[in-house]
Structure 1
Amino acid sequence: MTTLNASTRRQFLTLLGLSAVAVSCGTTATGAPGKDQTKTLRYQGWAGQVTLPELAEDLGYLEDVKLKWVGNTISGPQDIQSAATGQIDFGGAFNGAVVKLAANKAPIKAVISYYGSDKGAYNGYYVLDDSPIRSAHDLVGKKVGMNTLGAHAEALLDTYLERSGLSQGQVGKVEPLVVPPVNTEQSLRKRQIEVAVLGGILRDKALAKGGIRPLFTDYQLLGAFSAGTYVMTDRFLAQNPDTARTFVTGVGRAIEWSRSTPRKEVIARMTDIVKKRGRNEEADPLQYWKSFGVAETAGRITGKELQLWIDWLAKRGDIQKDQVTLSELYTNEFNANRGGGAPSASPSSSAAKSGS
């Protein structure tokens, strides 16, 4: 594996909001699994949303494992940084961010997909109805507002521009800007940006108001695909394999429950969760929920959803392909679901194996 030079390493860490000290924390998978495996998992949530682990816990799928909310995250890269440094026990992000973190030798493994794009759950790149922007070439010199850089929204924008035949010079003249998700629609309507990346509840609320139209969506661009994974550290998996298996299997069951249950019932359940947890947040936007968008059964990872972004990052020059070994980046060992969300036989107590 090629060693990063100091300058390149600092660039990667800056993109992820990491410091060299942070990445080095907890890098050794020491200790053997035993009876004292933790049964409490610390995590970060999202305001006004119900995450799959929260849904799984409410459904009873986490069995004797409990979740401990420590606050809300601001982005996927921040969430997996917190997991890598041991501040929380699992975190989730866009798969490109997971690849970047692994390229910096962070001791993590992706264990289950938790969000993606399908006909109900997708990110759209929206312009005003009267905008002259009709194609990728019209984006040259324009501002595109998104929640964070170096993650899902920017990756899909780059993919769209490249597939539309723009040169690298032209791509470089399209300006992605960080805009808080709650302000993105307003920034578009005030013409502070020319394109707004909107997804989920915020997208549907904006569409209901009218006056905007899609330039493209990630679902149109790539079809149905899983876009992000939850990660845990190698150390945590080695020391707490039974807990990890209960967690991952439970989240997988929650994915399948959300697919097989009428939408109104899923929304009612999530609304009840928000009301019960008492975080002083608004539950009404959950009425717009349609899907978690995970492509594979029970969130099992195939590898292709990570390889796509290994190739993208390498093409951009952010990493070299041999910095990341795909088979070491993820594992399905802790996902006992095989089909239809039904768990298989008893949990294994072995440590994490790569790429199973």
Structure 2
Amino acid sequence: MRHNTTIKVASVAAAMAFTLAACSTSSETESESTDSAASSSSAEAGSSTDELSVAFIQGVIGDNFYISMECGVRAAAEDLGGIDVSVQGGQKWDPALQQPIVASVMATSPDAILIAPNDISALQRPLEEAAEGSEIVLVDTTVEDPSFAVSEIASDNVGGGAAAFAAIKEMVPDGGQVLVIDNQPGISTSDARVQGFEEAVNADDSFEYVGVQYAKNEPAKAAEIVTSTLQRYPDLKAIFATNIFSAEGAATGIEQAGVAGEVQVVGFDAGPAQVEALEDGTVQALIAQQPYQIGYQGVEQAVAALKGEPTEAKIQTGFSIITKETLGTEEGQAALYASTC
């Protein structure tokens, strides 16, 4: 294995060579020399895990989902023995911004990199190159060919999309027109959420699916999408927003259009803005992921790989459905995302 967990025995070998050359050396001196070398080797081996470094590259900086994931990363690093953690992230969800961050992290030669790739294609080659010097764990999102990674850890996003439709069906039992607002195509997690939602809604004749539109992580764009869609589909009954920024913008658009309470919104994720929208009734349900667990398990998988221990190729974490009624419960509070660690 290429990492610093290998026990170095060079000092022992040197001591043995010296003993063979110096025939007049007493057996006591030989014993002391050998014991000293062995102690040095053991000290190196024992401290190797304490010197491990893990770089966490967030999908986008300042996102409560990734802040919660960072909390899990840091907690696991502490629990597993004081592993050094560094955190970076782009100001926007943009592969053009993330690629130079990957290059910068590679230059520091961390033992492991946890990353949420911004694009399934654009980050493929950069991460393959990074895997030549670091163990790679893909968290939340993935790439086209993740075979270089020791593990992929993400929510059951197809199931989450289906759950979002189930929540809408509960709130709109008579059916109607429904819209999806996504970030952008080519993001593995939100693509899966859309897939799960579309499969569910297309199997129910009481609902008309008016399609998916992309807000590119810009709440203002999501708000514009809502207002323009309402002009075209005035009988719109519900919206599924696949991430934090889409849900935030959808809530704003509904308020601006004056149809709060008439158009139901199910958001994905449970950041402060979404919780506020849930409390004031603009958003009626949230599908909360478990980012803390994704981060924690990501470090566990990286360390296992560094130690030469078995790893899990793919791990799926669960989610919770939060409504205004369940928000105040212990389970509901535990599902909310963190603002700081």
* TM-score of the aligned structures, taking structure 2 as reference length: 0.41
Where relative contact order (Cα < 8 A, 6+ residues apart) is larger, the structure is 1
Give the number of the structure whose alpha-carbon radius of gyration is greater.
Answer: 2
* TM-score of the aligned structures, taking structure 1 as reference length: 0.39
In proportion to residue count, which structure has more helix?
Answer: 2
